[in-house]
Amino acid sequence: MEEIEPQFTPEQPARDESSRQEALAFIWGTLKVVIISLAIIIPVRYFLVQPFFVNGASMEETFDDGDYILIDEITYRFQEPKRGEVVVFRFPQDTTQFFIKRIVGLPGETVEIKNDTVIIYDQENPEGLILDESIYLTPEQHSFGNLRIKLDPEEYFVMGDNRLQSSDSRRWGPVNRSLITGRVFLRAWPVDKFGLTIK
């Protein structure tokens, strides 16, 4: 009777090598996605957009305590801040803290607060212009204070929309341009108030 020797093929080693290559391809693919994502996210996070939580009631009812906002850090590299814009800046008396307020007075202007009104004096309005703040102030708000201040070429006068509970330029003076981080452009939280904040 003729004997037949069993035939062995190296199938198992080939399968192991194939599995190893697939695993390496998966890992490399995942790494590429992570690297590309970081290459996009890091510049956006540190140079274009920055997130903040609103802490406190000074900007109610425009922004509430706990709102999650995003600020645009790129626009002010190409244009100057405008009156009425809500900005985040480093607190002049402690630059480790960030504040959120609305720009009321621009560089070179004289800002006067009296009789519950904000009056702006500049070249176009030497006799004074009473600001119409009804767009962002609720009727029960009052601009308490009695002061008159001339802003330097790099200074902005800022105030909270909740004038009754806002520590702002009325108390600690104007904000230098170099301290302004960016303007608020999006409220991301709460979900029912999600949307752009720049008109």
Give the count of beta carbons closer than 10 Å to the beta carbon of residue 60. Answer: 19
3-state DSSP assignment of residue 81: coil
List the beta bridge partners of residue 156.
175
Residue in 58, 143, 166, 169 annotated catalytic = 58
58 is catalytic: yes
Active-site pick, 18, 101, 134, 169: 101
The reply to whether 150 belongs to the active site is no
Cα–Cα distances in angstroms (integers) from residue 161 to residues 58, 100, 107, 190, in the given order: 6, 10, 20, 19
Q: Residue 172: which H helix or E strand, with range?
A: helix 169-172
> How far is the C-alpha of 57 from the C-alpha of 65, rounded, in Å?
6
User: Quick check: 50 and 73 in contact, CB under 8 A?
Assistant: yes
User: How would you classify the pairing of strands 86-91 and 68-72?
Assistant: unpaired
Q: Which residues are catalytic?
A: 58, 101
